[in-house]
Amino acid sequence: MATLTLFEKLDQIESRYQELTAQLSSPEVLSDSSRYQKLARTHADLSEVVEKYRQLKELEKGLREAKQMLVESEDAEMKQLAHEEERQLLERKEIVENELKRLLLPRDPNDEKNVILEIRAGTGGDEAALFAAELFRMYSRYAESQRWRVEVLESSPSSLGGVKDIVAAIQGDKVYSKLKYESGVHRVQRVPATEQQGRIHTSAATVAVLPEADEIDIKIEPKDLRIDTFCSSGPGGQSVNTTYSAVRITHLPTGLVVSQQDEKSQIKNRAKAMRVLRARLYELEQQKQHEQIAAERRGQIKSGDRSEKIRTYNFPQSRVTDHRIGLTLHQLGDVMDGKLAPMVDALVTHYEAERLKQELVEA
C-alpha cells in the first residue's frame, strides 16, 4: 500500500512537471517575466523528483524483464544471469526509492530564503574576537564559492584586528538550506599569538543564522517602535561624523534593540536596522512554533540551537569536529579557507535522514 501511495504521488508530480514544461514555452508566459520566473522555479524544484521517478520506472521495467526471463528461459546459464540482474536491480531500486522518499519530505519553508548571519566573540577575550573574525572570513569565502553576495550590516572591531561582533546579510540561491545548521557555539583550541609560553587556549564564538524575513512574513506596527538617533562613533570613542546618522530601534513588545551606524546616511542605517530587527522577530516567532511542536512531538530533531557547542576547531592537530554528527575532518586549513562543502553536505544528509526516519515512525 505504501508503494502504491508513493507511485500515485509521483504520477501527480510528473503530470504537473509536464504541464509546467508546456506552459514555460507558451507565448503568454514568456511575455510575463515574473510569472515565467515563478513557474521556472517550480519546474526546477520538481525536476530532480521526476528524474528519480523515471529512473525508478526504468528499474521496474528491467525487473519485469528479468523475472520474465527467469520464468521462460530453460538455459541454466541464462537463468543465472537473469537472477544476478534481478538482484542488482532490486538493490538499485531500494536506493532510488529511499532517495525519492527523501526528496518528497515536506520542505523547510525557509530553505529558499537569504540569511542574516550574526557572529559574536564569546569566552576568551581578544583570542575569541580574532576567532570570530576568522569565522566570518570562512563563511565569506564559502559564500563566494556558492556565488552568494555578502553585505556587512553591523560590526564592532576589537583592538587586535578581530571583531567583538559582526552582522551580515547573505543573499543568493537557497542560502538558508545550506547554512541553517551552523547556528551554535564554535570552539577553537590553539596557542594564541599573544601567548609566550606555548600553552593551548580554548575560546569560543557564537554563530546565529537567521532566515531573512520579508515584510509579508513579519508585520511591524510603527506604534511598536521607538527610534532614537545619535552621532556615530568609531573605535576608542572617536567621532565618525557630527550628524545624527546612527539609529537605535527598540521593539517595545519584545524589548529587542538593534543599533546601526555603519552608514553615513540615517535612512540607510534605519533600513539596515529594520532588516536585522525583522529577522530577529521572525526567529522569535519560529522559536515559539518549534516549542509548541516539541511539546507535541516525541524525539524532536535538533536543528541548530545556538546555545549548543556544535563544533571544535583544533589547530595543533589540524582537525575540525562537528559533535552533533561525530564527523572529524583533518583539513582544518581548507575549512577555514571556506571549503565547507564536505561539512555542510554531511549535516544536510544527516538531518534529512533523521527527518525521514521520524516521518516513517509517525506514518
- What is the pTM assigned to this prediction? 0.67
Q: For the chain, which domains are there?
A: 2-103 (1.20.58), 115-212+310-359 (3.30.70.1660), 222-288 (3.30.160.20)
| pLDDT greater than 70 at residue 293 | no
The tally of CA atoms less than 13 A away on the side-chain side of residue 13 is 22
β pairing state of 309-314 and 184-190: parallel
Residue-level pLDDT at 123:
84
Handedness of CA 227, 232, 237, 242 (dihedral sign): negative
In the predicted model, is pLDDT for residue 4 greater than 80?
no
pLDDT confidence tier of residue 298, bands split at 50, 70 and 90: very low
Note the pLDDT of residue 341.
Answer: 94
**How do residues 232-269 score in pLDDT, each as one tens digit?**
765 444 445 556 788 888 998 888 888 888 788 888 88
Q: Does the pLDDT at position 358 exceed 80?
A: no
- pLDDT tens digits, 167-209: 999 999 889 999 999 999 999 999 887 666 778 889 999 999 9
Residues in contact with 321: Cβ distance below 8 Å, sequence separation at least 6, in sequence order: 311, 312, 314, 327, 328, 329
Say whether pLDDT at 54 is over 50.
yes
- The whole-angstrom separation of Cα 9 and Cα 2 is 11
Q: What distance in Å separates the CA atoms of residue 187 and residue 310, rounded to the nearest whole number?
A: 8
For residue range 74-93, what is the model confidence (pLDDT) as tens digits? Answer: 888 888 888 899 999 999 99
